[in-house]
Amino acid sequence: AKETLSTEARLQEICELLRDAVPYYDWVGFYFRNGEKEELKLGPYSGEPTDHTIIPFGKGICGQVAVSNQNFVVPDVSAQDNYIACSITVKSEIVVPLFVNGENIGQIDIDSNTPDPFSEADERFLEFVNQEVAKIL
């Protein structure tokens, strides 16, 4: 039964559902602050495996969101200086921070192989997803 799924398994399902549901969501994953360290650690994800399982705060799009506490929409990753490439097929990215009790404890990260696909609707939707995720953490 669903009720017995671990948090890890639920997050995994969310990643797979999102990736299946939205044609331009090609990689969907969660990163979480790694304990007391100033770095992010990869959690559940759906898509190609990535080498970037640990990302220092400030590095790449994800690391920047860890310190800015703001959504980061990247229509064209090739135009970013502070970007960590996970796959050469990726054209764009959106990262939305995940808050628990007002604290930025991680983020949802989505890569797309489509140029400039993300709108404010994606931001609002992913903020909602993260609010729901916060309830099960």
Does position 122 interact with ligand SME (CB under 6 A)? The reply is no
Q: How far from 119 is each of 70, 74, 107, 130, CA to CA, in Å?
A: 15, 11, 18, 17
Q: Between 68 and 135, whose beta carbon lies closer to ligand SME?
A: 68
Binding ligand SME (rule: CB under 6 A), the pick from 30, 71, 93, 130 is 93
For residues 52 and 116, give the distance between their C-alpha atoms in angstroms, rounded to a whole number. Answer: 23
Site string for ligand SME, 24-43 (x = CB under 6 A): ---x-x--------------
HEC profile of 9-57: HHHHHHHHHHHHHCCCCCEEEEEEECCCCCEEEEEEEECCCCCCCEEEC
Please identify, among the stretches 7-15, 17-25, 57-65, 121-129, the one whose residues bind ligand SME according to the rule CB under 6 A: 57-65
For residues 23 and 133, give the distance between their C-alpha atoms in angstroms, rounded to a whole number. Answer: 22
Binding ligand SME (rule: CB under 6 A), the pick from 18, 61, 96, 108 is 61
Residues that bind ligand SME (CB under 6 A): 27, 29, 50, 52, 55, 60-63, 83-84, 86, 93, 109, 111
